[in-house]
Amino acid sequence: MLLGGLSATALAPGFAFGQATNEIRIGAPLPLTGPLAPEGRKQKRGYDLWAAQVTKDGGVDVGGRKLPVRIIYSDYQSATPRGVQACEFLVNQEKAHFLFSPFGSGAAKAGSAIAERYKIPMIAPTASSVEVYDQGFKYLFGTFTPNSTLTEPLAKLVTEKAPDVKKVAIFSRNDLLPLSLANEMRKSSAARNLSVVYDEKFAIGTLDFAAALTQMRAAAPDWVFVGGYINDLVQVRSQMRDLGMKPKVLTMIAGPAYEEYIQALKGAAENVSSAAWWHPSVRYEGEDLFRSTANYVEVFKAAYNGDTPDYAEASASSAGAILQLALKKAGTLEGPAVRDALASLNVRTFWGPVHFGATGQIDSLTPPVFQIQEGKAVVLVPDEIKRGEFRFGIA
Amino acid sequence: MKTLSSSPWIGPVLALAGGAILAFGLPVLVGDQAYLLRLATQLALLVTLAIAWNLVGGFTGYPSFATAAFFGLGAYAIAVAQQAGWPAWSGFLLAAVLSALLAAPFGFAILRLRGHYFAIASLMLVTILKEVTTGWSDLTGGGMGINLPGAGGNPTAIATVALETMVILAAAALALSMIVAKGRLGFGLACIRMNETAAMGAGIDAPRLKTIAFTLSAAICGLAGATYARWIGYIDPSDVYDVMWSVRPIIAALIGGVGTVFGPVVGSIVYIAFEELMWRNLLTFGTGALGVLIALLVLLLPAGIIPGILRRRAS
Amino acid sequence: MSASLLAQVLANGLLLGGLYAAVAAGFSLVWGVLNVVNMLHGSAIVLGSYAAWFASARFGVNPFLSAIVVGPAIGLLGWAVQRFVIQRVITAPVLITLVLTFALDLILNNGMINAFSADYRKVPPVTGAILTFGPIGLPLDRVLAAVAGVVVTLAVHAYLNNSRLGRAIVAVRMDRETSMLMGVKVEHIYAVTFGLGLALAGIAGCLMAVVFPISPLNSSGYLGIAFVACVLGGLGSIVGAIVGGIVLGVVESFGAIFVGPEYSVTVAAVLLIAMLLLRPQGLLGRAGYE
């Protein structure tokens, strides 16, 4: 035991760095290995793109000086405790001025306590649950609106366009975000007198959905709502096809926003509806370094051999862009001053209008509802960026 | 008259005293170095789990993978108890008692299996508890996880208390392990490990002794889980029932020396140091590099550090 | 609950079972002959799936055909791993080989995440057709994959019983010491068996790629399937793997209906523990080793 204490103490000083004020140090704990690796790597692409663009522009404007940006990554192996440890490590040992939160609501919530303690502004690019933000913390800011902002416009659209849709089936992965989405969906259904005829969860890591879907088919729903991640959703969709299930409306969150979803399913992706916090086909003009959504998509494609950015990647880039705008406004790297600048920010960006509410969660964004039509995601709501009409039935 | 050094109680007493000194000395020594505080707590946690595992996997020779099951159960026990408004001490008690109550019958049943069969059956307990915890969302919050009341308090105070509790727990586990090793239980377990059939023939009640070891081990894991939950403040099923909670203690014990009293302690220190180095220096191959390291250790030093040193001294 | 629903669920379960048999066969063989629980097995299956995806995306070859090359290639890798790495500790306690293969799994899995950027991939449908028998619908791809899984497994069984090398493997499995005395080079047999086990994993990976999306994260799920199917059917028995796989597939499917899809793994785990305690020799087959 004694040895343990000593070796831990001996290990540390060698790693401590002096505080460098000639660069902006941002700590970014990411799940680069483990179950969340696909998401972690997406986020990294978003951050890297922002940092590369900053370098191209000669740095970030802070109080009249142009400072270079350094993002310090740390892989927390998809384990939340390690994510918290990474936050502390990045602040304590790597002397990060700012933090981008770990992935998802759970880890962001756990990590935000570290940011609060050290008065380090933290931007969460992938946390949507309101429970993350109602802890009374002042240093946490999130670029995702609450989950209800995804299900409500969908329910409104469907009931308006198809009053004959009465029976809803809800099927969700037993995991933080999908459960929360299913919950909101239940509320949205109840508010519109839709009857929920099937309501089940599936375990994380489920490979095969045939049995559950067979049971769902027997309930004959008009509207099937599935919450999960891309691997689950691709499999659920192809097995629905195998079983000949053709509900009038099929909604899936959060896979169809990813290009891989359409690639994997080809024709079977047609008419699947979804909602996301952002979509490459939205059109915003901004004061940030990317200037507009269209330009952001172009820059992204050029950097990543033609890939189209999805909301996860764009949100990561927007975290950088938003921080940059706040730094310009604050004119300093001091945590409290930058925090105040973030709290009072009211700007337009490629991500959309950015303003943070009292809890730190963005309240100025309208998530688009979209549908896969002819192999492309077509925005249906909101009206300003609408590109098509809702179509019913699936292949 | 017994000399001081041969008294069976001197080791455990020293371990507890050393633990107490460390527990209250470390926070003062480390001071505001919050990251070191965290690392030290993690080390104490791993030491505790490795010692607990060693009671079954080392002394008895049954490779258990159930550590994560009792760890998670303990974490959820205290979380649910505290949400219901119970005081902290009763939450700890509940964690230990529940783990023991589950371990006794389950252990009795599966300890009839040997080798890989036992390993797999014990691993399945982790899967079952994880899914039951996830499914029983009225009580546990399911996949949404659970917040421990008071988690929003002063983080430095929480970290300090967590370190103190964890180190004392580790010291207590070490003391217990010493007592077991020197006592009748340890002798019985050693006989079982060497040749269970012969041990039974010699009148050792193997099922009973194995179950006692398994239950003791589970109670310690439960307490470690409870301490962990209070420290982290937010738990969800995939975090606390992560199989790595079963695997890391085994590897720590393997590094130090399976079946020795101090092996798990030494092994945990080496393991945490390696893990930290890998993690800091290799961004996307941290897990793989850990695999390389474990493979090398197993190939080059299969008996572990402590037996390795003893052998060298003997020759 | 209608009869047609139950019939559909049974059909789903049987098809799933055929795939599970392929997943479990190689694992069971290695465990039975070498007494090694090969934690690498799940990742080897995923590697096979990636190879099938690569063949499909790059050369337009469907997974049923690419399995012919992928299986032996991964088998060769397995042979080398056994010959040069695992063989060094083959006589050590079970825990050592378990931890060693676990470490190898960490390396392979992390390597795959880096090499394939962890994105999900899917091989396009081979036929895409659906067979319908009254109220029951069966996707043809799945039927073909399940049948191929069972056929490959049976072929290995026939090989073990009829070829010289195969009989040597069986002999080592039955009694290592005696077969050594009879001139069997056990070291060689071990390497070949491990290679055969991983070749089966590679083929299973190709078949899984027909049906499921591909990701390094699937490996632990595949390993779990192999565990349960292997214990159900009886250790080391190839035919047992088929029986175990099919029973698991059917039980899981009905479990999802009667207990709920969130507990499908629990159902399998409870089944496994019950099986270990009540009938450790498996549904068929003899008692395994300790």
C136 Cβ contact partners less than 8 Å away, ≥ 6 residues apart: C4, C7, C8, C11
> What letter would DSSP give residue C121?
B
Inter-chain contacts counted by CB atoms under 8 A, chains A and C: 105
Mean of the pLDDT values across residues B1-17? 69
Mean pLDDT of chain A: 89
Per-residue pLDDT at A17 exceeds 60: no
Query: Which residue on chain A is closest to C211 by alpha carbon?
Result: A235
C214 Cβ contact partners less than 8 Å away, ≥ 6 residues apart: C46, C49, C50, C53, C120, C121, C122, C123, C208
Buried b / exposed e along C26-54 (16+ C-beta atoms within 10 A): bbbbbbbbbbbbbbbbbbbbbbbbbbbbb
Q: Among A372-376, B15-19, C85-89, C241-245, name the one with the lowest average pLDDT.
A: B15-19
Least Cα distance to A157 among A394, A393, A382 occurs for A382
Q: Is A8 on the interface with B (CB under 8 A)?
A: yes
Per-residue pLDDT at A178 exceeds 50: yes
Model confidence at C284, in pLDDT bands (50, 70, 90)? low
In chain A, what residues touch B133 (CB-CB under 8 Å)? none
Model confidence at B115, in pLDDT bands (50, 70, 90)? confident
Query: Which residue on chain C is closest to A202 by alpha carbon?
Result: C262
Buried b / exposed e along C123-158 (16+ C-beta atoms within 10 A): bebbeeebeeeeebbbbebbbbbbebbbebbeebbe
Mean of the pLDDT values across residues C157-162? 90
Strands C130-133 and B234-235 come out as unpaired
In chain C, what residues touch B140 (CB-CB under 8 Å)? none
Distance CA A93, CA B99 (A): 37
Mean of the pLDDT values across residues B267-285? 87
Q: Is C109 helix (H, G, I), strand (E, B) or coil?
A: helix
Do A220 and C280 form a contact (C-beta atoms < 8 A)? Answer: no
Model confidence at A38, in pLDDT bands (50, 70, 90)? confident
In chain C, what residues touch A265 (CB-CB under 8 Å)? 122
> Quick count: other Cβ atoms within 10 Å of Cβ C212?
23
Helices A104-118 and A176-191 pack at an angle, to 10 degrees, of 110
Q: Is C219 on the interface with A (CB under 8 A)?
A: no
Q: Among A116-130, B13-27, B64-78, C79-93, name the one with the lowest average pLDDT.
A: B13-27
In chain B, what residues touch C105 (CB-CB under 8 Å)? 291
Instruction: Check residue B150 and give its pLDDT.
Output: 65
Per-residue pLDDT at A166 exceeds 90: yes
Q: Is C136 on the interface with A (CB under 8 A)?
A: no
Task: Please indicate whether, in this complex, the C-beta atoms of A174 and B142 are within 8 angstroms of each other.
Answer: yes
Mean of the pLDDT values across residues B198-223? 93
Inter-chain contacts counted by CB atoms under 8 A, chains B and C: 124
Per-residue pLDDT at A1 exceeds 80: no
Complex ipTM tops 0.90 = no
Strands A346-349 and A352-355 come out as antiparallel
Q: Is A136 on the interface with B (CB under 8 A)?
A: yes
Q: Is A322 on the interface with C (CB under 8 A)?
A: no
Instruction: Check residue A11 and give its pLDDT.
Output: 40
Cα dihedral sign for C112, C118, C124, C125? positive
Per-residue pLDDT at B100 exceeds 90: yes
Q: Which residue has the higher pLDDT, A21 or A30?
A: A30
Best interface-test mutation with C: which of A214, A232, A262 has the largest number of C CBs within 10 A? Answer: A214
Q: What is the DSSP string of B180-233?
A: HHHSHHHHHHHHHHH-HHHHHHTT--HHHHHHHHHHHHHHHHHHHHHHHHHHHS
Q: Convert chain A into a string of H (helix), E (strand) and C (coil).
A: CHHHHHHHHHHCHHHCCCCCCCCEEEEEEECCCCCCHHHHHHHHHHHHHHHHHHHHCCCEEECCEEECEEEEEEECCCCHHHHHHHHHHHHHCCCCCEEECCCHHHHHHHHHHHHHHHCCCEEECCCCCHHHHCCCCCCEEECCCCCHHHHHHHHHHHHHHCCCCCEEEEEEECCHHHHHHHHHHHHHHHHCCCEEEEEEEECCCCCCCHHHHHHHHHCCCCEEEEECCHHHHHHHHHHHHHCCCCCCEEEEECCCCCHHHHHHHHHHHCCEEEECCCCCCCCCECCCCCCEHHHHHHHHHHHCCCCCCCHHHHHHHHHHHHHHHHHHHHCCCCHHHHHHHHHCCEEEECCEEEEECCCCEECCCCCCEEEEECCEEEEEECHHHCCCCCCCCCC
Instruction: Check residue B153 and give its pLDDT.
Output: 65
Task: Please indicate whether, in this complex, the C-beta atoms of A207 and C254 are within 8 angstroms of each other.
Answer: no
Task: Please indicate whether, in this complex, the C-beta atoms of C289 and B115 are within 8 angstroms of each other.
Answer: yes
- Closest partner residue to C96 (CB to CB) among B109, B127, B302 is B302
Per-residue pLDDT at A4 exceeds 70: no
Instruction: Check residue B75 and give its pLDDT.
Output: 96
Model confidence at A9, in pLDDT bands (50, 70, 90)? very low
pLDDT tens-digit readout, A319-341: 999 999 999 999 999 999 999 99
- Structure token pair of residue B37: 């505080």
Task: Please indicate whether, in this complex, the C-beta atoms of C100 and B284 are within 8 angstroms of each other.
Answer: no
pTM greater than the 0.80 cutoff? yes
Per-residue pLDDT at B223 exceeds 90: yes
Per-residue pLDDT at B4 exceeds 60: no
Mean of the pLDDT values across residues B52-63? 93
């002394």: which residue's tokens? B59
**Nearest CA distance, C121 vs chain B (angstrom):** 20
Domains of chain A: 20-145+281-355 (3.40.50.2300), 148-276+368-385 (3.40.50.2300)
Mean pLDDT of chain B: 87
Per-residue pLDDT at B2 exceeds 50: no
- Closest partner residue to C99 (CB to CB) among B115, B117, B250 is B250
Distance CA B118, CA B114 (A): 5
Least Cα distance to C18 among C208, C150, C142 occurs for C150
pLDDT tens-digit readout, A342-388: 999 999 999 999 999 999 999 999 899 999 999 989 999 888 888 89
How far is the CA of C96 from the CAs of B57, B171, B272, in angstroms?
12, 27, 20
Mean of the pLDDT values across residues A204-224? 91
Per-residue pLDDT at C41 exceeds 90: yes
Best interface-test mutation with B: which of A1, A32, A85 has the largest number of B CBs within 10 A? Answer: A1
Instruction: Check residue C289 and give its pLDDT.
Output: 35
Instruction: Check residue C285 and give its pLDDT.
Output: 55
Burial class (CB in 10 A: 0-12, 13-18, 19+), B314: exposed
Q: With pLDDT > 70 as the criterion, what percentage of chain A qualifies?
A: 95
Do A264 and A298 form a contact (C-beta atoms < 8 A)? Answer: no
Q: With pLDDT > 70 as the criterion, what percentage of chain C qualifies?
A: 96
Per-residue pLDDT at B106 exceeds 90: yes
Do A283 and A385 form a contact (C-beta atoms < 8 A)? Answer: yes
Task: Please indicate whether, in this complex, the C-beta atoms of C120 and A264 are within 8 angstroms of each other.
Answer: yes
In chain A, what residues touch B43 (CB-CB under 8 Å)? 4, 8
Instruction: Check residue A395 and give its pLDDT.
Output: 78
How far is the CA of B296 from the CAs of B280, C35, C37, C103, in angstroms?
20, 21, 19, 9
- Closest partner residue to C100 (CB to CB) among B131, B132, B298 is B298
Q: Is A243 on the interface with C (CB under 8 A)?
A: yes
Instruction: Check residue A20 and give its pLDDT.
Output: 46
Q: Among A143-147, C99-103, C216-220, name the one with the lowest average pLDDT.
A: C216-220
Do C221 and C49 form a contact (C-beta atoms < 8 A)? Answer: no
Model confidence at C177, in pLDDT bands (50, 70, 90)? confident
